[in-house]
A and B are shown apart, each in its own frame.
Chain A
């Protein structure tokens, strides 16, 4: 990959050799490390509460909805698709890349919609977010926290997709797509861990 793009460089002194894209990716990585602490703390908190709680899922509450498996499938697919968007961009197949980005946007939205469906199903089964129970509370807290980050990712992905249709990216210059890919892989990984923890603990 060409790391030394000669596009207008950022206003740094002339001695600078690293490219903007490299710096941006590094910044994104730090941001994701910070976010992973947020999720790690949440999951550890979940485990601690789970272990200490005298009351967990009382019999009147439904088990975890099976729709979560569908969510998992959608999100993994999204992550794969966005990877191909990046690969195709690098190979200068910009048309294919656009389609992949569009597909990723659709899948990401689908994930969010499916999460809503899961919540609604639970609410219908006597487990609303205000249910006075730690099993219920922690479930909504974890999935809600993740969904909030999915919303942020969708906004960025939407902008990137639109820009790609306007021809803003090239095989050499596509920071937006790189960031989107990093972020969605991250969301995917977090979700898989979160989901496994919830399954094992219930």
Chain B
């Protein structure tokens, strides 16, 4: 048997043989000052999960308050702060950095067969900036929080007495963190691809991270200047958004959405990348339409810069601008649909295995489909005038961000969990929890589509009694989801100590990160691996002795 040319390094066969990155150095300092992309990924993971927990608590407070049409548990002023903090924390601290900074940092160099990212110091700086930005958000929270909504629209944000400056300054710093991560990823992907990995042999997750990084680098500076102008206007009392000086508050909206629309693709593109990996692995099939998926990521990144005006259809911008933005918005649906088509085609006639990552993948495809299609109702001028600032918009972006990005994040988290921590989670509990989350999610937000289309405005504290039953359904769904997430936390934490030791390749994927041990040694790979087709799953066979997949020996030369 030809074992010499086997692409599997010896350490991979026996997990735990070489000291893993988790054992390489102990104590707080060895973590927070680390330069290892894997440790930085784990630090990011812990931080963003903390942010998600905090944002989730605020979400539950919102849903509890809305249980009854009048006051339930808090004052109106508190409610305004709670939904602002929920939105700002979830967007700036969880959804935007979630997949790229946490999962991406861990996985990207491994997928390239590389030792680390191009600039490990910048990578660490990026995490430190993230923490500093988060501390500013916490500082704002302690001082009562902001009450502007996560969009910080002027002139309210420049006149309210709530703690706007610390939280916007926090978001400003988080922007730097995001740019540094993007910069690192672009350079790493350009420079560190291993032998055998041309651009079109790259795993699609890397394409997605690459497209994301381009948006991060090109759009985030605009958020920076916008928030800076807002802060200066608040501090000095003069600025370009002040109409009494001849300034224009709508200019803020242009600036803000010029970043924040591309930002929704900073969120969704990495999610799509995760899904492209999972759908192939768990259908045990080569990905369908590789190039179409890769190019559509780039197309989405490009188009994302041209549609910001669809958030401003009723802001008084010219009818001509409205029509152009509407048409361009529709065109974004094309590359999105290309991806959905290819994922479904990948699943077609595959031998689908509904492990937790795949449950989340299927949920993603369905929920993102609903989210994207309802975006078209919002992109059409006639309907948006009615639907703007109603719960329909809230439901739309929760279907895309939570049904889309969060589901992909959960899928990716379960998929790479064995690689990150070297332990398997409890598959049965994971399936139950994913079901609770997906069902709870739909109960929460389907009802919001309905009440939104019936005219229930977003952000309202009191509401007319005829909306009460929708709100109650929505709250019930939210509690179901919360229980699901708690269950996830329980079995994941439990797995850290008690989980079955993970094999190097538990799912049978062909991308390079599964060729090093679980968890990987600090050096990642003993020898430089050679990349083959990242979706050629045929040579991988399940080995019951390992509890995972391994390369069929006679086919090894096909891979090397």
Binding site for B on A (CB under 8 A): 11-16, 18, 22-23, 26-27, 30-31, 33-35, 37-38, 41-42, 45, 48-49, 52-55, 129-134, 136-138, 141, 145
CB distance from B96 to the nearest CB of A (A): 16
B222 x A49 contact (CB < 8 A)? no
Q: Return the CB mask of B235-266 against A: 1 if under 8 Å, else 0.
A: 01111100001111001000100100000000
Q: Is B131 positioned at the interface, with any CB of A under 8 Å from its CB? A: no
Q: Is B367 positioned at the interface, with any CB of A under 8 Å from its CB? A: no
A30 x B114 contact (CB < 8 A)? no
A-B residue pairs in contact (CB < 8 Å), sample of 17: A12-B116, A13-B194, A16-B192, A22-B191, A23-B118, A33-B217, A35-B221, A41-B221, A41-B258, A45-B225, A49-B247, A52-B251, A53-B246, A130-B237, A133-B238, A137-B238, A138-B240
Q: Is B400 positioned at the interface, with any CB of A under 8 Å from its CB? A: no
**Which of A34, A38, A42, A132 is B183 in contact with, Cβ under 8 Å?**
A34
Compute how far the CA of A182 lies from the CA of B247 in the bound complex, rounded to whole angstroms.
Answer: 36
Interface hub of A12, A53, A55, A129 (most chain B Cβ within 10 A): A12
Compute how far the CA of A37 lies from the CA of B215 in the bound complex, rounded to whole angstroms.
Answer: 11
**Which of B186, B228, B251 is A48 in contact with, Cβ under 8 Å?**
B251
Q: Given A45-B251, A49-B251, A141-B229, decide whether A130 and B220 contact each other with a Cβ distance below 8 A.
A: no
Q: Given A27-B187, A52-B246, decide whether A34 and B221 contact each other with a Cβ distance below 8 A.
A: yes
Interface hub of B119, B220, B221, B237 (most chain A Cβ within 10 A): B221
On chain B, the residues within 8 Å of A26 by CB distance are 187, 190-191
List 7 additional A-B contacts (Cβ < 8 Å) besides A16-B191, A34-B183, A141-B229. Answer: A12-B192, A30-B186, A38-B225, A52-B251, A53-B246, A133-B238, A141-B240
On chain B, the residues within 8 Å of A138 by CB distance are 240
CB within 8 Å: A-B pair count = 107
A11 x B116 contact (CB < 8 A)? yes
Q: Is B337 positioned at the interface, with any CB of A under 8 Å from its CB? A: no
Compute how far the CA of A133 lies from the CA of B239 in the bound complex, rounded to whole angstroms.
Answer: 8
Compute how far the CA of A27 lies from the CA of B191 in the bound complex, rounded to whole angstroms.
Answer: 10
On chain A, the residues within 8 Å of B183 by CB distance are 27, 30-31, 34
**Which of B187, B221, B239, B240 is A30 in contact with, Cβ under 8 Å?**
B187
On chain B, the residues within 8 Å of A130 by CB distance are 236-238
B246 x A34 contact (CB < 8 A)? no
B246 x A27 contact (CB < 8 A)? no
Compute how far the CA of A14 lies from the CA of B194 in the bound complex, rounded to whole angstroms.
Answer: 10
**Which of B179, B225, B525 is A42 in contact with, Cβ under 8 Å?**
B225
CB distance from B237 to the nearest CB of A (A): 7
Compute how far the CA of A130 lies from the CA of B238 in the bound complex, rounded to whole angstroms.
Answer: 7
On chain B, the residues within 8 Å of A129 by CB distance are 236
Q: Is the interface of A mostly helix, strand, loop or mixed?
A: helix
A12 x B237 contact (CB < 8 A)? no
B191 x A18 contact (CB < 8 A)? yes
Number of B interface residues at 8 Å Cβ cutoff, please give it.
43
A30 x B217 contact (CB < 8 A)? yes
Task: List the A residue with the shortest CB-CB distance to B244.
Answer: A132
On chain B, the residues within 8 Å of A141 by CB distance are 229, 232, 240
Compute how far the CA of A134 lies from the CA of B115 in the bound complex, rounded to whole angstroms.
Answer: 51
On chain A, the residues within 8 Å of B220 by CB distance are 34
CB distance from B123 to the nearest CB of A (A): 11
A-B pairs with lowest CB-CB distance, top 6: A38-B221, A13-B528, A15-B528, A53-B246, A37-B221, A55-B246
A55 x B245 contact (CB < 8 A)? yes
Interface hub of A35, A134, A138, A145 (most chain B Cβ within 10 A): A134
Compute how far the CA of A18 lies from the CA of B114 in the bound complex, rounded to whole angstroms.
Answer: 13
B116 x A38 contact (CB < 8 A)? no
* CB proximity to A under 8 Å, residues B177-211: 179, 183-184, 186-187, 190-192, 194-195
On chain B, the residues within 8 Å of A16 by CB distance are 191-192
B222 x A38 contact (CB < 8 A)? yes
Compute how far the CA of A77 lies from the CA of B237 in the bound complex, rounded to whole angstroms.
Answer: 37
Q: Return the CB mask of B105-148 against A: 1 if under 8 Å, else 0.
A: 00000000111101100100000000000000000000000000
A15 x B194 contact (CB < 8 A)? yes
Q: Is B292 positioned at the interface, with any CB of A under 8 Å from its CB? A: no
CB distance from B21 to the nearest CB of A (A): 13
Compute how far the CA of A30 lies from the CA of B225 in the bound complex, rounded to whole angstroms.
Answer: 18
Q: Is B218 positioned at the interface, with any CB of A under 8 Å from its CB? A: yes
A13 x B229 contact (CB < 8 A)? no
CB distance from B191 to the nearest CB of A (A): 5
Task: List the A residue with the shortest CB-CB distance to B184.
Answer: A27
On chain A, the residues within 8 Å of B403 by CB distance are none
Compute how far the CA of A193 lies from the CA of B251 in the bound complex, rounded to whole angstroms.
Answer: 23
On chain A, the residues within 8 Å of B166 by CB distance are none
**Which of A14, A49, A145 is B240 in contact with, Cβ under 8 Å?**
A49
CB distance from B247 to the nearest CB of A (A): 6
A12 x B187 contact (CB < 8 A)? no
Q: Is B224 positioned at the interface, with any CB of A under 8 Å from its CB? A: yes
CB distance from A132 to the nearest CB of B (A): 5
Task: List the A residue with the shortest CB-CB distance to B213.
Answer: A30
On chain B, the residues within 8 Å of A18 by CB distance are 191
Compute how far the CA of A30 lies from the CA of B248 in the bound complex, rounded to whole angstroms.
Answer: 32
On chain A, the residues within 8 Å of B228 by CB distance are 145
A34 x B218 contact (CB < 8 A)? yes
Q: Given A14-B528, A33-B218, decide whether A27 and B118 contact each other with a Cβ distance below 8 A.
A: yes
**Which of A41, A52, A136, A145 is B222 in contact with, Cβ under 8 Å?**
A41
Compute how far the CA of A169 lies from the CA of B185 in the bound complex, rounded to whole angstroms.
Answer: 28
**Which of A22, A34, A52, A53 is B217 in contact with, Cβ under 8 Å?**
A34
A23 x B525 contact (CB < 8 A)? no
B239 x A137 contact (CB < 8 A)? yes
Task: List the A residue with the shortest CB-CB distance to B218.
Answer: A37
Compute how far the CA of A30 lies from the CA of B221 in the bound complex, rounded to whole angstroms.
Answer: 13
On chain A, the residues within 8 Å of B246 by CB distance are 52-55, 134
Q: Given A26-B191, A55-B245, A129-B236, decide whether A13 and B221 contact each other with a Cβ distance below 8 A.
A: no
Compute how far the CA of A49 lies from the CA of B246 in the bound complex, rounded to whole angstroms.
Answer: 9
On chain A, the residues within 8 Å of B224 by CB distance are 38
Interface hub of B239, B240, B528 (most chain A Cβ within 10 A): B240
B115 x A13 contact (CB < 8 A)? yes
